[in-house]
């Protein structure tokens, strides 16, 4: 790859990609200059890798996202690439789907800060197959970021990404069965990129739909576009008030969904994911491996094993999940926050499809969400999951990272481990299938502690003891 000369400019921001792209505040480093610098580097790497290839560009509902998408398109097009920009706001999975179904796409870009608050925006990058790009690719791009923004601009095309994507989603479920069930659904896109689209799909499938928090709205109506408490409270209330069968919520870019049952209870990811596994395997007869990160509930692996599916646990990070997806024979892959990937459809998370599967499950089973969860609890056993964070200063966090590989406590809260793993932090498994995980954050001065047990009391004892280990050893 040709190297570009970089001259010292102390005024230039240092730009670094996280695992899911680059995000920054509007009043800090999310500026036109920095957007151009990143787009220039991406265009340089992609054009060197595959001259003349196609790049797909989409954007969410945040302030000026459409403007920034067009700017990115012009900068990348100046590298001789064919750039196609969505003609309207779109979920991240729609861009991934467009990449995966294109004959000559080299990658895609979405202007989004996913579930962060309205003060942020960002750039998410996707590979030619719609999945995440590798850390190695992002490192190469970082090294190509110029210190000054280029003035070069090119031309791009505007295309309709949404129609083929939505048609494919609808073809994934049994519309006739859903229509006959006459379900009442509350849809909450949280002013994000799923606005209008999920309501359209469910109405096409014969559901009675009430949509709340439909975007775009620059300030997200004062909420964070994150399908979790307390931001999900209004959806829960509307479900109860209207007597709806269920509610579906989506994060800011639509790659993650959440479910509210008829009583207004917001399902945890550790209730949601096993339901989808059961639906795919038991109701639809599908097969394949189930992949989850080590921070996920044991309910996921129990559900897979109960249904005769191989369950694989991997270190945290969707890139680790992606490696398993690339190896093949994966039915579903999930991470701890409830994002689910269905590789037959797309090599990335798709919240819209996950929500459609749950609607289909309720229709086919003729049971409520609460009844389905109660069945799972009987079949899988009761498990209580929780995560805590222990704040440390940067030096103490690094010191703890250094000693963690050699840390092997004889017991935690009086429980002796039957297995110990240092694959990603310190994970201790106990004889009764309870477990605890101590894992320093890669980005923050924070150590995260996870625990799961059959009772809240035992879980809390494990959490308390593990947090004390962190404070004592740091």
**Final residue before a domain boundary, out of 380, 403, 426:** 380
- Mean pLDDT lowest among 9-13, 103-107, 242-246, 283-287: 9-13
In a domain, 7, yes or no: no
User: 212 lies in which domain range?
Assistant: 172-380
In a domain, 2, yes or no: no
Residues in the chain: 474
The mean per-residue pLDDT over the stretch 301-323 comes to 91
Cα distance between residue 36 and residue 145, in whole Å:
9
The mean per-residue pLDDT over the stretch 47-75 comes to 97
What is the percentage of the chain residues whose pLDDT exceeds 90? 91
pLDDT tens-digit map of 271-283: 999 999 999 999 9
The mean per-residue pLDDT over the stretch 79-85 comes to 98
pLDDT at 316: 86
The mean per-residue pLDDT over the stretch 174-184 comes to 98
pLDDT at 11: 67
pLDDT at 7: 47
pLDDT tens-digit map of 97-135: 999 999 999 999 999 999 999 999 999 999 999 999 999
CB 106 within 8 A of CB 53: yes
CB 250 within 8 A of CB 147: no
Do 276 and 143 have their domain in common?
no
Do 321 and 201 have their domain in common?
yes
The CA-to-CA distance between both ends of the chain, in Å, stands at 43
Mean pLDDT, the chain, as a whole number? 95
pLDDT at 8: 45
CB 63 within 8 A of CB 135: no
pLDDT at 218: 86
pLDDT at 4: 54
pLDDT at 1: 56
pLDDT at 19: 78
Do 307 and 204 have their domain in common?
yes
- How confident is residue 368, by pLDDT bands cut at 50, 70 and 90? very high
Cα distance between residue 73 and residue 109, in whole Å:
9
In a domain, 192, yes or no: yes
Output the CA torsion sign for 297, 299, 303, 309. positive
Q: Within 13 Å of residue 185, how many CA atoms lie on the same side as its CB? A: 32
Q: What are phi and psi of 154, to 5 degrees?
A: -130, -175
Looking up residue 329, the CATH number of its domain turns out to be 3.40.120.10
pLDDT tens-digit map of 408-436: 999 999 999 999 999 899 999 999 989 99
pLDDT tens-digit map of 318-344: 778 988 999 999 999 999 999 999 999
Q: Is the peptide bond before 189 cis (omega within 30 degrees of 0)?
A: no
Do 413 and 264 have their domain in common?
no
In a domain, 335, yes or no: yes
- How confident is residue 364, by pLDDT bands cut at 50, 70 and 90? very high
For 421, the 3-state DSSP assignment is strand
In a domain, 15, yes or no: no
pLDDT at 444: 84
Q: What does R_g of the chain's alpha carbons equal in angstroms?
A: 23
The mean per-residue pLDDT over the stretch 371-378 comes to 97
pLDDT at 317: 78
Q: Is the pLDDT of residue 3 over 60?
A: no
The mean per-residue pLDDT over the stretch 162-186 comes to 98
**Final residue before a domain boundary, out of 380, 397, 415:** 380
Q: How many CB atoms lie within 10 A of CB 163?
A: 10
Do 142 and 262 have their domain in common?
no
Per the structure block, which two tokens stand in for 21? 């792209």
H/E/C letters for each residue in 157-226? EEECCHHHHHHHHHHCCCHHHHHHHCCEEEEECCCCCCCCHHHHHHHHCCCEEEECCCCCCCCHHHCCCC
Give the count of domains, the chain: 3
Do 135 and 191 have their domain in common?
no
In a domain, 441, yes or no: yes
Cα distance between residue 381 and residue 414, in whole Å:
23
């Amino acid at each position: 790859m040709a190297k570009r000369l970089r001259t010292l400019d102390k005024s230039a921001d240092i730009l670094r990609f996280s695992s899911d792209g680059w995000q920054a505040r509007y009043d800090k480093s999310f500026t036109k200059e920095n957007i151009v610098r990143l787009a220039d580097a991406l265009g340089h790497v992609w054009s060197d890798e595959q001259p003349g290839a196609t790049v797909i560009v989409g954007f969410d509902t945040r302030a000026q996202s459409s403007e920034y998408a067009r700017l990115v398109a012009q900068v990348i097009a100046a590298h001789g690439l064919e750039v196609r920009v969505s003609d309207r706001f779109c979920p991240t999975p729609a861009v991934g789907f467009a990449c995966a179904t294109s004959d000559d796409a080299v990658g895609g870009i979405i202007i989004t800060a996913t579930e962060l608050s309205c003060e942020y925006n960002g750039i998410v990058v996707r590979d030619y197959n719609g999945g995440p790009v590798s850390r190695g690719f992002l490192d190469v791009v970082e090294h190509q970021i110029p210190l000054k923004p280029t003035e070069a601009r090119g031309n791009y095309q505007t295309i309709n990404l949404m129609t083929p994507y939505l048609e494919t989603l609808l073809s994934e479920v049994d519309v006739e069965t859903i229509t006959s069930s006459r379900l009442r659904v509350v849809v909450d896109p949280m002013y994000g990129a799923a606005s209008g689209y999920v309501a359209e799909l469910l109405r096409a499938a014969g559901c009675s739909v009430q949509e709340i928090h439909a975007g775009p709205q620059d300030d997200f109506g004062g909420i964070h576009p994150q399908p979790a408490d307390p931001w999900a409270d209004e959806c829960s209330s509307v479900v109860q008030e209207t007597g709806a069968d269920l509610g579906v919520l989506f994060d800011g870019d639509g790659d993650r969904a959440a479910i509210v049952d008829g009583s207004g209870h917001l399902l945890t990811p550790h209730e949601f994911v096993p339901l989808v596994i059961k639906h795919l395997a038991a109701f639809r007869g599908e097969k394949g491996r189930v992949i989850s990160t080590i921070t996920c509930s044991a309910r996921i692996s129990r559900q897979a094993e109960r249904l005769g599916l191989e369950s694989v646990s991997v270190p945290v990070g969707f890139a680790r999940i992606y490696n398993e997806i690339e190896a093949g024979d994966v039915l579903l892959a999930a991470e701890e926050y409830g994002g689910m990937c269905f590789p037959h459809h797309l090599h990335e998370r798709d919240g819209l499809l996950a929500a459609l599967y749950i609607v289909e499950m309720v229709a086919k089973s003729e049971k409520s969400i609460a009844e389905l969860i109660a069945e799972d609890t009987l079949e899988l056993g009761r498990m209580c999951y929780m995560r805590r964070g222990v704040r440390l200063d940067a030096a103490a966090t690094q010191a703890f990272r250094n000693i963690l590989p050699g840390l092997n406590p004889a017991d935690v809260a009086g429980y002796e481990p039957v297995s110990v793993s240092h694959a990603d932090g310190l994970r201790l498994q106990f004889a009764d299938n309870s477990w605890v995980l101590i894992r320093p954050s890669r980005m923050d001065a924070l150590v995260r502690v996870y625990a799961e047990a059959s009772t809240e009391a035992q879980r809390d004892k494990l959490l308390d003891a593990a947090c004390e280990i962190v404070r004592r050893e740091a």
